[in-house]
Structure formats: C-alpha cells, structure tokens
Amino acid sequence: MINPGTGEFITKVASAGVEDINDAVAAASNVAEVWESIPPFVKTTLMNKFADKIEANIDELVTLECEDNGKTYGDAFGDVSFCAIIMRYYAGLAMQNTGKSMMRDSMGMYNNSYAYTRKQPIGVCGLITPWNYPILMTAFKIAPMLASGCTGVAKLPELTPLSSLRLIELWHEVEGVVPGVLNAVPGIGAQAGEALVDHPDVRKIAFTGSTAIGKRIQVRATEQVKRVGLELGGKGPLIVFADADMPKAIATAAACGIVNSGQMCGAATRLIVEESVYDEFVEGLAKAVEAQKMGYWRDADSTKGPLISQN
C-alpha cells in the first residue's frame, strides 16, 4: 500500500487467489443456517454493539482511511461516523423482516382460508467495494447483509483495503458474533473479484464500481442466475439558470465538483450555465476552486486530499 499524500510505502497486504475465495465462501456457507436462525433481536443487539465499536475506534479508522486513501481528516471522519449510523439503521430493520398474511381471493372455492408470505435470506453474498469510499461502501454492503440474515464475503478494494480490514476486525471483536458470518478478502478484481462472482455458492453479488466492470459482472452472474445489485459510474450535470442565487450556485458547484477530490460517481464535473450569467459564474467558480489547497491530510492548510495514484 502506498500513501497517496506522501508517496511513501505503508505496508503489504495479501492478495487473495481462487483458493482463498473458496475458503472464505465455505466459511460463510457453513454458518448460513446458524446466522439465519439467530433471533432478530439478537442480530439487532450485535449490530448496535458493532456500531459502538466503530464509534469507540473512530480515530484509528479515520487515520487508516486518511493514510490509505488520502482523504482529509474531516472527510474521513464524516465517512466513519456515517458507518456507525448505517449500522444502527439496519440494526433496527433486522427486527422488521416480517412477511404478510392475507385472506385468499379464491372465488369462493376456499372461503375463510389464508395465505402468508415469508422472507428468507438469500444465502452467501459477495460484496465488492471501490477505493474512493472504502470503509463507507463496505459498511453500506455488510449492514443490510447482516440484518437480513445473510452471510458473506467482502472483496476489499486493492488500492485501499486497510480501513475495511480493520472495520471487519472490529465486527469479530463484538462478543457473541458467529465466526464466518462476515469474511474479509483483499485482492485484485480480475482474480479475487471474478472468483467471487463465479463461485456457485454465492447467491448475490453487490458491486460498486465502474460501468465496464458492472457489465462484466452482470454477464457472468447471469450464467448462474445470481441476484445482482450494481452501483455504477455516471455523472449528471449541474445546471445553473440566470435567476439562480449566484453565490450559492458557485459555492455548490465548487463543493460538488471537487467532493472527494472529484473521485466520486456523483461529482458535478459537468456544468451547464445560462449564457447571460456564464462569465460571472466562471469567474466566481475559478476563485472558489483556486482557494482550495490539495495536500497531505496532516498538513494544517490542506482542504482536499490528493488523487489516489499517479495514474
């Protein structure tokens, strides 16, 4: 791992191969019925304890995110804080995985008879997360997985795995957690990621990343009729009309355009401005962007972190 803020070496992280993925999926499969059978209130309690752990270790998690990803402390602190909120939100939903009962509409054939629906876990989930919001995207995927009674394997981003590794370690430090429910596997997408997508015991793939890779995953998953959730790239324009509050529009465009140093699928990197206010807007936006200082997160005057790599 290379610190993007300094260019210095941080540490080495193992790169998983097919056998590692097989072991992780086997671990998740072996405890799938155990985790499913645990009462919802217990799942809720464990997830809230996990949120407590995140909050108790927030400075460590933020530091890992800053060193590994290059974010400023404020940005990383917001991400990690949100992880705890996400966990508490889904902890509440774990108590609400209920079906429905209804009187059957059977045209008089079965009067006073009822049908019911039942929600059941999908099974083992494969969770593949990106480098731009590593810990946050990992939390977004593992929280609903845990709450719904599923087990899974998180394939962590090859450029920024450190904060997610520590996050999943914290899950295993919660008293009462079932080993094997949540497994962390760092690795390269073309190796570990594809092995996870192709594994016959993985029934759901949740992926956040590029559109090109998302299409590839969709095709490969279709062969085994896996459920797939894709959050892919795509940037909508920010549109400014002449009657806009111009200072607010300029500030919004600057903030949205360089959020996470522009490394975000939702960043407003295209602007459409009405011609009559074009010059005023461009001049104001240029000043707002020039006021930003990119640099290492420990530098007091840095307002934005560096790009993830030279590439």
173 is catalytic: no
Q: Which CATH class is domain 18-98+120-231?
A: alpha beta
pLDDT computed for residue 236 by the predictor = 81
Candidates 36, 55, 256, 265; catalytic one: 265
Clarify whether 125 is annotated catalytic: no
Report, in this order, helix, strand and coil percent for the chain, each rounded to 5. Answer: 50, 15, 35
pTM higher than 0.85 for the full model? yes
Mean per-residue pLDDT pooled into runs of 10, the chain (311 residues): 94 96 98 96 98 98 97 96 98 92 73 84 97 97 98 97 98 97 96 96 97 95 94 88 97 93 88 97 96 93 93 86
Exactly one of 231, 274, 275, 290 is catalytic; name it: 231
Residues 174/178/181/183 CA torsion (nearest 10 deg): 60
| DSSP conformational letter for 190 | I
The residues facing 206 across adjacent strands are 127, 229
pLDDT at 59: 98
Tell me what pLDDT residue 10 has.
96
Indicate the helix (H) or strand (E) that contains 171. helix 162-172
Greatest alpha-carbon pair distance for the chain in Å reads: 76
Q: What is the pLDDT of residue 293?
A: 93
Please report, for the chain, the start and end positions of each structural domain, with discontinuous segments joined by +.
Answer: 18-98+120-231, 238-290
142 membership: H or E segment, kind and range: helix 134-147
pLDDT (0 to 100) of residue 108: 65
| CB-CB contact of 183 with 24 (8 Å) | yes
